[in-house]
Structure 1
């Protein structure tokens, strides 16, 4: 999706900047102090400055787009207040597919489960955060991420990865008022053939093993069921149609 936007002439996509994740991690390491007004103001100033500096590096007449990494979405309400008139796209997919990927790859930020202070700040739980399991942490974080999507106003766009990819691109570009030229369409078609992560640049999606990477056993499925995340996902999916 970020490839598709970036393929339109005059756009700039800042995709999951390490700076922003590092900034959030630095502040949430302070636990409850993260939510103090002073810290929120400092975060807002730092992020806006970062975007302004990179956004002024060239001719981006079709806009600058900021793609947040998954866990940053937990702060979507605060982020949306920084740019209240900026349209938002919230992308999501089936939680069982996400968990399969998480278990197979051990995504870096999921390793926060080893840090009780960060776990407490992200989950806003004060108890039992010192011995939370990797999978329990992953499920709880996902449940909160999906709820962030539900809290968005109807003016924003929900995108389900499970839907037709071409239709998703069309909806997203229309949401951002991006008009494609014939050359843009060619660029989009070419760019979206590739995996977007930097370490896989130049690798076709078809070359990546998209099969199941882990077995979601009955214990994990029970945790998923108890979390209520399936119902939340279904609600998001219905709204995204």
Structure 2
């Protein structure tokens, strides 16, 4: 094996930052769940604007809480948590997790500000092998797999590597699905107006951005494990 089974970070500050990392990711997970619920509601029901606003508000609240945890973690890291070679890596890991939350909030904001994307969401929600539902499942899967890796950072280094590598595979699948869905949407332009298509493309980009950010975070986890065991 290339890595020992366990990676240990010893120190009060390190322990505090790792707890913040889990707290931060828990908030990101809540954001993803709320976004998943919001998109499903739009796809499957004629959801009222008040419900959309409530779900968007909840996502925004979680995102603000995640920002607060992120800032506190950066302060602890800057005070000397971890040796210098790992400080920047943990800072970047928090940034990538924050990116997931930011992209999710952007998706919710797009859905809240207008209903232009709704016809596309309904049309492509269950569209054979390139459905929006499948894309959303990939996004959720990438985040869940990353969460498993983070949760095991001090328990099983090999598992962290294995799960982190899976995130890249899911991200590539999400990228492929995003492109297929947009091509189909573009081919149906005669049924939709151009402004709706532009907004739907932005929505897809933000949605895929969540998987891409998860991929970047997974790569950073591999770097952290490698440095910690060197």
What TM-score does the superposition give when structure 2 sets the normalisation length? 0.31
Q: Of Structure 1 and Structure 2, which has the larger fraction of its residues in helix? A: 2
Q: Which has the higher strand share?
A: 1
